[in-house]
């Protein structure tokens, strides 16, 4: 039976790492919205051309175009063993559209894995990053400090900075937006008995052990 999955989680929850583990073990393509749009646009598919008209103007791509691009991608041959969707659906309307397209393609969803981490912990994870001004080496206040305090391990520089995106207030706002977006989707898939919550605050290997345990029983 094919393994048709959605991977959910807030920024910093470790989705990318778990996605790679799933792809390596279960040999399903990792399908992210960014990649789908890039492929459709670079291949100048009719929907890709439409999407480009919106992105060139800095506008959001409407659902009908996004849904069409997703359906085209899920219809490709490499999804026969299954697929791992990442970054879609983002709204309940898209979730309904996905439900219909998986019926049309005879590829019903198997499970939705939600990597669940408290936003407070994610704020610490995401806002702890700082960068060497001289060479761009990246450090973290909790997980990866320079060996000699105040001195870059790579170039010996002494000046560091933090990206605007990584500052605590910006991180909190980004997480708030994502929580608002994810909450209805989590309820939607829970109601349909497709949702599996995994505690993403644990070590990477422990999180993977739990994800693998869930997938191996489906």
CA dihedral 19, 209, 111, 4 (to 10 degrees): 50
Is 125 marked as binding a ligand? no
Question: Do the Cβ atoms of 10 and 122 come closer than 8 Å?
Answer: yes
Structure tokens given for 162: 């933090």
According to the annotation, is 73 in a ligand binding site? Answer: no
User: Is 58 a known ligand-binding residue?
Assistant: no
Q: 33 labelled as ligand-binding?
A: yes
Is residue 151 part of an annotated ligand binding site?
no
Q: Is 138 marked as binding a ligand?
A: yes
How would you write the chain as a 3-class SS string? CCEEEEEEECCCCCHHHHHHHHHHHHCCCEEEHHHHHHHHHHCCCHHHHHHHHHHHCCCCCCHHHHHHHHHHHHCCHHHCCEEEEECCCCCHHHHHHHHHHHHHCCCCCCEEEEEECCHHHHHHHHHCEEEECCCCCEEECCCECCCECCECCCCCCCCEECCHHHCHHHHHHHHHHHHHHHHHHHHHHHHCCCEEEEECCCCHHHHHHHHHHHHHCC
Q: Rounded to an integer, what distance in angstroms lies between the CA atom of residue 217 and that of residue 131?
A: 42
Is 156 annotated as belonging to a binding site?
A: no
- Is 17 marked as a binding-site residue? yes
Instruction: Judge whether 217 is annotated as a binding position.
Output: no
Task: Tell whether residue 195 is among the known ligand binding residues.
Answer: no
Residues catalogued as catalytic: 15, 90, 129, 163, 174
**Residue 120 marked ligand-binding:** no
The answer to whether 13 is a known ligand-binding residue is: yes
Bind-site residues for AMP? 33, 38, 59-61, 87-90, 94, 163, 174
Bind-site residues? 12-17, 33, 38, 59-61, 87-90, 94, 129, 132, 135, 138-139, 152, 155, 163, 174, 202
């Amino acid at each position: 039976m094919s393994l048709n999955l959605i991977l959910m989680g807030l920024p910093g929850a470790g989705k990318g790492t778990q996605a790679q583990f799933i792809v390596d073990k279960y040999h399903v393509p990792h399908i992210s919205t960014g990649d789908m749009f890039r492929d459709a646009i670079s291949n100048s598919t009719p929907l890709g051309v439409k999407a480009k008209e919106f992105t060139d103007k800095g506008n959001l791509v409407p659902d009908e175009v996004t849904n069409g691009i997703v359906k085209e991608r899920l219809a490709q041959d490499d999804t026969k063993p299954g697929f791992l969707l990442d970054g879609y659906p983002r709204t309940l309307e898209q979730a309904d559209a996905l439900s219909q397209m998986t019926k049309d393609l005879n590829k019903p969803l198997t499970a939705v894995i939600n990597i669940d981490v408290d936003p407070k912990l994610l704020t610490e994870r995401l806002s702890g990053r700082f960068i060497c001004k001289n060479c761009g080496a990246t450090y973290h206040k909790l997980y990866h400090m320079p060996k000699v305090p105040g001195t870059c391990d790579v170039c010996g520089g002494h000046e560091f900075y933090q990206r605007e995106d990584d500052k605590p207030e910006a991180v909190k706002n980004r997480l708030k937006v994502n929580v608002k977006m994810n909450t209805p989707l989590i309820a939607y898939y829970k109601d349909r008995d497709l949702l599996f919550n995994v505690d993403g605050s644990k070590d990477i290997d422990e999180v993977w052990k739990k994800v693998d345990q869930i997938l191996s029983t489906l």
